[in-house]
Amino acid sequence: MDTLRKGESFYTGLRRWGVAPQYILELARSLKKTVDLHRVRPGGVYAFSCDSTGAIQWFSYQPDPETRIVVEREGGKLAVRKERVPLKRVERSLTGVVNSSLYEAILAAGGTPRLVWKFADIFQWDIDFYTEPRQGDRFALVWEEYHKDGRVVRQGRILAAAYLGQAGEHWAVYFRDPSRREDYYTLEGKPLRKMFLKSPLRYRRISSNFNRRRLHPILRRYMPHWGVDYAAPPGAPVHATADGVVAFQGYKGPNGNMVILRHRNGYRTYYLHLSRFARGIRKGRKVKQGQVIGYVGATGLATGPHLDYRVRKGRRFVNPLKLQASKAPSVPRRYWEEFRGVRDRYVRTLERVLAQKRAA
């Protein structure tokens, strides 16, 4: 068994072990449809055996901890198959208290940045984690990890989570029903996923609210402000708050670079003052909820970098912060017993770790 070294190819590695060039070429031809031998990465583990003539009889290569490619000689030819390497699944949990930010709190509790983003994504329709968390808010989560030889190979999904804050209690349980539909649900089996995200930005603060009579900072006269202004760093990614189709993409006078998305049920969302557009964003293109459509800027009539985000229903603009939109489907009645079993198990785990934290 050996490991590919930095700058080494299979050819140089096998030559180092004395394998003749013609047999390496034969192996390369057999692997052509399975492995791009020009893009193998250092660290890949391989092993092989040869017969008395020096011909390769068996070859195994692990490009990553979860995949094994096996080559065996059958009837004078090399046959290739791909296998999944079994990993040990482990459930882990953590809990903590917010002192400054959710990010710092989860890391202080032993979590990772990836866990922070996954946790925030679960509750993104109900909690604005950049404006709403308060000191003393508590959280807990259960997630899965995959281990091999005692080390973490891959971090899986969050299985259950709770956020107990001054703004209320929020619980989430991951459930995949027998029909293979999967989602995060409340304890009552209702989906957390909604038509619109809470906000189109991750890093920002509200600098101006929806207002029917606002003193314009540049024009110095009172006029309606039909959106919410989010102050954010230049270049911060702007996300589509709902699935939709690009109805407009371009420069629009005082609005600067702007994207308008058309959604179902008569909704449209507007994203103003962008510095530039994301690749592929043009009229008629479909976009998914959470997809990056542009980047924060100060184009048009703007005093500084920010995003002016607006929502229109029919012919009227509505306050984005008070938007009530349809939700995804709830847990089907026929799967309620299965859901309840999963829910009760993880709620007990979350309550136990929260209680341990309070006791500590």
Q: Are strands 257-262 and 267-277 parallel, antiparallel or unpaired?
A: antiparallel
Is 186:171 a contact under the CB 8 Å cutoff? yes
Is 313:262 a contact under the CB 8 Å cutoff? no
What is the pLDDT, as a whole number, of residue 298?
92
What is the pLDDT, as a whole number, of residue 335?
95
- Where are the extended beta strands (E) located within 33-167? 45-50, 56-64, 67-74, 77-84, 88-97, 138-148, 151-165
Kindly report, residue by residue over 50-98, the tens digit of the pLDDT: 888 888 888 888 888 888 889 898 888 888 898 888 889 999 999 999 9
Kindly report, residue by residue over 315-334, the tens digit of the pLDDT: 889 888 877 766 778 999 99
What is the pLDDT, as a whole number, of residue 1?
64
Is 152:111 a contact under the CB 8 Å cutoff? no
Share of the chain above pLDDT 70, in %: 91
- Where are the extended beta strands (E) located within 186-264? 205-208, 211-215, 222-225, 227-231, 237-239, 244-251, 257-262
Burial bucket for residue 227 (CB in 10 Å: 0-12, 13-18, 19+): buried
Kindly report, residue by residue over 239-292, the tens digit of the pLDDT: 999 999 999 999 999 899 999 999 988 899 999 999 999 999 999 999 999 999
Amino acid (1-letter code) at residue 319: N
Instruction: Tell me the domains of the chain and their CATH numbers.
Output: 2-84 (3.10.450.350), 88-194+330-359 (3.10.450.350), 205-322 (2.70.70.10)
211 pLDDT more than 80: no
156 pLDDT more than 60: yes
Reading phi first (left if > 0) and then psi (alpha if -120 to 50, else beta), residue 343 is in alpha
Q: What is the mean pLDDT of residues 302-313?
A: 89
List the strands of the sheet with 182-185, edge to edge.
88-97, 138-148, 151-165, 168-176, 182-185
Better pLDDT: 324 or 30: 30
214 pLDDT more than 60: no
